[in-house]
């Protein structure tokens, strides 16, 4: 069931969160539909970077307790692609919310989304929830290319060893990030995401 897990999309969301300095956890929902080994491999990749990763299913109730407990006493923004199950999970945690569960096909066909506002809702216990309406894709905006590396958390500790302090980790000689990718200290998938976003950032700056 759509949308399939897409690490490129996830990485764009993560860049946006990191650039906004928001404490970010990752929820991979619909594990009932996925192959366990593949889910685990992705979860491990992001855990290694330092993210907390929740594996859940709103259908068979996998992982719900752990995620539910983690929401307590915080302001929680549920953000991500349309159709991944944000409203479904929130309805299970807080039945009174009675959030509308989306028909993803409507969204995809019309290219518009059903809800267009987000409100912060108090759910007791010093806990707040913000459900967000559908987005299909995001493009990190307003990020300078020399800053992008900082929003890939695991690049940070290597970047200071790049030969040039203006290094964009793209082609520059003496780049410690590229070196870390070659040594498998940074995942090739994440570096590929970085290059793709770098490309869109450069285009933004050109007009
Ligand atoms: N198989 C499966 N379907 C789910 C799960 N969570 C939500 N869905 C379905 O996915 C669709 C979109 O869910 P919704 O909560 O509206 O997603 P949102 O756009 O992220 O709020 C609905 O048809 C849900 O019933 C899940 O864990 N497993
Ligand atoms: Mg929703
Ligand atoms: Zn570099």
The domain locations on the chain are 7-131, 145-206
With a CB cutoff of 8 Å and minimum separation 6, the contacts of 188 are 181
Is the beta carbon of 32 within 6 A of some atom in ligand 1? yes
The protein residue with its alpha carbon nearest to ligand 1, atom 12, reads 83
Distance 175 CA to ligand 3 centre (A): 4
Q: What is the pLDDT of residues 191-205, one digit of tens each?
A: 999 999 999 887 765
* Burial label, 21 (beta-carbon count in 10 A; 0-12, 13-18, 19+): exposed
CATH architecture label of 145-206: Orthogonal Bundle (1.10)
Distance 177 CA to ligand 1 centre (A): 37
63-69: long-range pairs with CB below 8 Å, 24+: 63/31, 64/89, 64/92, 64/93, 67/27, 67/93, 68/93
Contact (CB, 8 A) for 32 and 59: yes
Q: What is the pLDDT of residues 166-189, one digit of tens each?
A: 999 999 999 999 999 999 999 999
Question: Tokens 């059903």 label which residue?
Answer: 114
Of the candidate CATH numbers 3.40.228.10, 3.40.50.720, 1.10.645.10, 3.40.50.300, the domain formed by 7-131 belongs to 3.40.50.300
Mean pLDDT of 139-163: 92
Ligand 1 atom nearest the C-alpha of 101 is 16
Is the beta carbon of 83 within 6 A of some atom in ligand 1? yes
Distance 36 CA to ligand 1 centre (A): 18
At residue 66, the pLDDT reads 98
With a CB cutoff of 8 Å and minimum separation 6, the contacts of 110 are none
């Amino acid at each position: 069931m759509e949308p399939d897990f897409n690490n490129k999309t996830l990485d764009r969301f993560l860049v946006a969160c990191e650039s906004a300095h928001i404490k970010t956890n990752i929820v991979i929902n619909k594990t009932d539909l996925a192959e366990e080994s593949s889910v685990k491999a992705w979860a491990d990749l992001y855990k290694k970077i330092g993210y907390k990763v929740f594996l859940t299913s709103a259908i068979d109730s996998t992982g719900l307790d752990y995620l539910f407990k983690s929401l307590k006493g915080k302001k929680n923004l549920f953000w991500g692609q349309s159709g991944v199950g944000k409203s479904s999970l929130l309805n299970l945690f807080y039945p009174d919310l009675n959030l509308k569960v989306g028909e993803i096909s409507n969204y995809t066909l019309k290219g518009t989304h059903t809800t267009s506002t987000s409100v912060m809702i108090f759910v007791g216990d010093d806990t707040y929830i913000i459900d967000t309406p559908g987005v299909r894709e995001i493009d990190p905006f307003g990020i300078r290319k020399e800053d992008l590396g900082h929003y890939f958390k695991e690049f940070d500790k290597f970047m200071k060893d790049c030969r040039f302090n203006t290094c964009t980790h793209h082609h520059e000689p003496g780049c410690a990030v590229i070196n870390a990718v070659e040594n498998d200290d940074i995942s090739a998938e994440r570096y590929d995401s970085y290059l793709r976003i770098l490309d869109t950032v450069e285009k933004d700056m050109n007009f």
